């Protein structure tokens, strides 16, 4: 059984690197793989021809994971990182703070699996619109791939200001989504927040810390926001610590 996996959505050197990584991963999992060029293509336009020896579902999972990781890394490198570097430079000059918010949807996969990719895409587009409407026009909203987004808020007055924004975003995302004329669905979100210069002094570490805080919010029960901190279990007597992992509350 032959299958062809086109390496799409990745440009330039990133595309050929992904092709090599995919070949390596599949061979490690027991597949016989031959890398071929697309008709008239270059190394940056490689495709993969594989003879499937293992389970098709396993092959699909590995392929999708690598494609997602590569697309996520490229977007972070080409869009988010430069914007964050410029924002950090402005914050240093002006003596202000900025916040990075990682957003990961809770419960998106079952909706995507049940109603199909078209409905899933509709939900993601609507989510992007809700996130965009929940922040200022000058703030950055970018989708990293899958059901992950990143927001960059400049000139924040305090962590409390970011907390107000985060509560609003969670409330907006929790509203029903209309996927078809007779189909509605709900999701929630886990938010991870890092603040410059409080949590890190460079863009790369800010992104890393926001990502880690998002995973902590998800592990803490989902549908909440989490401020980055070094403490795994903050003391309940510390007001700042109590703020770090919070569920939205009624206003």
Question: Taking the domains of the chain in order of start, what are their residue ranges?
Answer: 2-64, 96-246
Structural contact between residues 7 and 48, judged by C-beta atoms closer than 8 angstroms: yes
Structural contact between residues 150 and 103, judged by C-beta atoms closer than 8 angstroms: yes
The whole-number pLDDT of residue 22 equals: 58
147 is catalytic: yes
Instruction: Give whichever of 2-11, 59-68, 187-196 has the largest mean pLDDT.
Output: 187-196
The one catalytic residue among 104, 139, 147, 199: 147
> Does 197 have pLDDT greater than 90?
yes
Task: Show the tokens assigned to 181.
Answer: 């004329």
For the chain, helix (H) and strand (E) counts, in that order, are 8, 11
Q: What does each C-alpha distance from 4 to 31, 46, 51, 68, 251 come to in angstroms?
A: 13, 11, 9, 18, 53
CA Rg value for the chain: 20
Whether the predicted model's global pTM rises above the 0.75 cut: no
Task: Give dist(CA 233, CA 208) in Å, integer.
Answer: 19
Task: Give dist(CA 142, CA 140) in Å, integer.
Answer: 6
Peptide bond into 197 cis (omega under 30): yes
Residues 6+ apart with CB under 8 A from 31: 50, 51, 52, 53, 54, 59
Task: Give dist(CA 112, CA 161) in Å, integer.
Answer: 33
Q: What does each C-alpha distance from 44 to 13, 14, 16, 101 come to in angstroms?
A: 6, 8, 5, 33
The closest of 165, 96, 111, 156 to 134, measured between CA atoms, is 165
Instruction: Output the CATH code of domain 96-246.
Output: 3.30.70.270
Strands (E), the chain: 2-6, 32-37, 46-51, 97-106, 140-145, 148-156, 177-180, 183-185, 188-196, 224-227, 245-246
The whole-number pLDDT of residue 144 equals: 79
63-67, 89-93, 178-182, 239-243: least confidently modelled range: 239-243
The DSSP symbol for 200 reads -
pLDDT mean over 181-206:
92
Question: Which is more confident, 237 or 20?
Answer: 20
Task: Give dist(CA 180, CA 193) in Å, integer.
Answer: 33
3-12, 121-130, 185-194: least confidently modelled range: 3-12
């Amino acid at each position: 059984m032959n299958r062809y996996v086109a390496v799409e959505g990745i440009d330039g050197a990133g595309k050929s690197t992904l092709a090599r990584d995919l070949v390596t991963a599949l061979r490690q999992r027991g597949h016989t793989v031959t890398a071929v060029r697309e008709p008239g293509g270059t190394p940056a336009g490689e495709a993969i021809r594989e003879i499937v020896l293992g389970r098709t579902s396993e092959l699909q999972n590995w392929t999708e994971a690598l494609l997602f990781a590569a697309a996520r890394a490229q977007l972070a490198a080409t869009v988010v990182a430069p914007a964050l570097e410029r924002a950090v430079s402005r914050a240093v000059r002006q003596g202000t703070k900025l916040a990075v918010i990682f957003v990961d949807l809770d419960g998106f996969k079952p909706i995507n699996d049940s109603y199909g990719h078209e409905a899933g895409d509709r939900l993601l587009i609507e989510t992007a619109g809700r996130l965009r409407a929940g922040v200022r026009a000058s703030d950055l909203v970018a989708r990293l791939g899958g059901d992950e987004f990143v927001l960059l808020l400049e000139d924040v007055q305090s962590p409390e200001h970011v907390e107000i924004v985060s509560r609003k975003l969670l409330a907006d995302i929790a509203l029903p989504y209309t996927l078809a004329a007779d189909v509605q669905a709900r999701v929630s979100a886990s938010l991870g927040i890092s603040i410059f210069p409080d949590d890190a002094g460079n863009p790369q570490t800010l992104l890393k810390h926001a990502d880690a805080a998002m995973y902590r919010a998800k592990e803490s029960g989902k549908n909440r926001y989490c401020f980055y901190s070094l403490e795994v279990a903050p003391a309940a007597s510390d007001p700042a610590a109590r703020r770090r992992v919070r569920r939205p509350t009624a206003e």
